[in-house]
Copies of this chain bind each other. A is one copy, B any other.
Amino acid sequence: MCASNRIWIYDTTLRDGAQREGIALSLEDKLKIARQVDQMGIPFIEGGWPGANPKDVQFFWKLQEEPLTQAEVVAFCSTRRPNKIAAEDPLLKAILAAGTRWVTIFGKSWDLHVTEGLKTTLEENLKMIADTIEYLLSQGRRVIYDAEHWFDGYKQNPDYALKTLKAAKNAGAEWLVLCDTNGGTLPHDISQIVQDVARKLEIKPDTDSVQLGIHTHNDSGTAVANGLAGVIEGVRMVQGTINGYGERCGNANLCTLIPNLQLKMGYDCLTENQLIQLTKSSRLISEIVNLAPDDHAPFVGRSAFAHKGGIHVSAVQKNPLTYEHIKPEEIGNERRIVISEQSGLSNVLSKAKTFGIELNKDDIACRNILEKIKELEHEGYQFEAAEASFELLMRQALGQREILFQLQGFQVHCDRLYGEGMPYTNALATIKVTVNGEDRLEVAEGNGPVSALDSALRKALVNFYPKIAEFHLTDYKVRILDGGSGTSANTRVLIESSNGKERWTTLGVSPNILEASYQAVVEGIEYGLLLNSAIKETVK
């Protein structure tokens, strides 16, 4: 089964990951994630628990119609019920109907969970494990056995815990996966216990027909380290989720585990080309589950290779290895120079360079930009998340910002009327802008005031700049800056726009949420036009 040096990655984003508070996946979401994880080159994808969840039944059907390209999709299920016959258990029938080659069965390792949770005898639990696996094998399935609460169970009653694993091994499971279900075990304990198990069950890594796996949770903040500790002791399957999603504090983060295993410890998980897709996949999946990506995530986060302090920035440009633990390109991420209050001139210069603007350190414009940033940041602007607005600011300071239109004013009107039946809300925006010396007065409706404003502005500009028709907003975020002042606090609006290829983020700050939104919308349109125009070219 195992080639030497190979680690089998097992993704459980769709089952354990979906348990995270705040995640609610549709069938369509699940299929999109499965196809993305398949593309990443991860060999096992746990799809869900058919039988316990109707959405999961449909998921497996859909994959039968249109299978994954390379990964094995795995159905998940518990052992049969106490004192019943495996062949008659409706949960196991549902598993077989899912039509997967591989099945993961989880069973109890901790005596307390058998007697208090299942309310059955320790002996019956061993039979449940063996029966279930034997039955699935007789139906042509290959079995992965997840030993639930393994580490806690082993600490409490090692003899019994080992009996459960032996039952699974003797029944024909190919993988015995040690689960730290409650996430409370620390790496030194993991090492010790995995060593014990491998010795007592006489499992040799890579060569035996049954191999060990590990499944860790992050309740102690050591899920990744626990996975690595397992591998060092001979484990050959590592289970986890994309971005570490999962119940409570999450599961082991595969986007961290994989580069650690592959780039630092010399194991094979993915091909080099697949590894380069890691950052992109992480962000795509965060979009599908509708959670903001974690900017500070190891390896794949937007800040993972960001340099802020002045010393770092000048040093990293001389020799990246002095301040970066790996090359960001290897996992498809990139180095970023961050602009902030603490920025020195070297940050401004190198940022300008990434925009294709050549600045000279002694140029007065350079100091002006720095002063302007500090002044605006004091007002609540933050350019770290809004590089498009920062580029516009920089071009303005250099006299390279073309004025595309001028706002004369706007009015927004919202009504909410409770009629006899449904309440009715409507928003209307009137806008006056000067474009090419011509005054344009336009009015538009919208679902809400921001969309009404956005529509009115587009209406006024689209004849002059037809490209605008291609732009759309992909994200809209609002944050109040000074919590104490409640609804009259200063608000910061971040808007992400897209033209279908590129994405860019702009910002606006004002106590009036509509004014802040308007600023961000306007800069979003302006930046989109800049991307398409000759202006950007000529400066480069």
Contacts and interface: CB of A to CB of B under 8 A. Distances in A.
A475 B478 CA distance: 11
Contact of A112 (B116, B322, B473): B322
A418 B414 contact: no
A387 interface: no
A510 B385 CA distance: 26
A218 interface: yes
Contact of A182 (B182, B296, B323, B425): B323
Contacts of A408: 418
B447 A248 contact: no
Interface stretch (A96-104, A161-169, A200-208, A219-227): A219-227
A299 B220 CA distance: 7
B287 A483 contact: yes
Interface stretch (A2-10, A15-23, A351-359, A528-536): A15-23
A304 B247 CA distance: 8
A27 interface: no
Contact of A117 (B290, B306, B322): B322
B489 A476 contact: yes
B221 A188 contact: no
A416 B486 contact: no
A462 to B, nearest CB: 15
Given A264-B184, A425-B512, A450 B250 contact: no
Interface in A283-321: 287, 290, 295-299, 301, 303-309, 312, 315, 318-319
A514 interface: yes
Contacts of A318: 116-117
Nearest to A490: B447
A371 interface: no
Interface string A328-347: 00000000001011100000
Interface in A211-241: 218-222, 224-226, 228-229, 232
Interface residues of A, number: 121
A287 B385 CA distance: 19
Contacts of A272: none
A116 to B, nearest CB: 6
A contacts with B: majority SS: mixed
A187 interface: yes
Interface in A427-464: 427, 446-451, 453-455
Number of copies: 2
B416 A228 contact: no
Given A415-B411, A416-B410, A478-B478, A448 B324 contact: no
Contact of A454 (B22, B183, B319, B487): B487
A24 interface: yes
Contacts of A199: none
A39 B287 CA distance: 40
A299 to B, nearest CB: 8
Given A21-B306, A308-B247, A512-B425, A491 B448 contact: yes
A409 B418 contact: yes
Contact of A219 (B287, B325, B415, B475): B325
Interface in A354-386: 377, 382, 384-385
B486 A454 contact: yes
A186 interface: yes
30 contacts: A20-B296, A21-B295, A21-B296, A24-B382, A112-B319, A116-B318, A182-B324, A186-B265, A219-B299, A220-B264, A221-B224, A222-B222, A222-B224, A247-B309, A247-B312, A407-B416, A410-B414, A410-B416, A411-B414, A416-B512, A416-B518, A448-B513, A448-B514, A449-B512, A450-B513, A451-B511, A453-B487, A473-B486, A475-B483, A476-B478
> Which 9 A-B pairs have CB atoms at the shortest separation, nearest pair first?
A184-B325, A225-B225, A473-B486, A447-B511, A448-B512, A221-B256, A478-B478, A451-B487, A451-B488
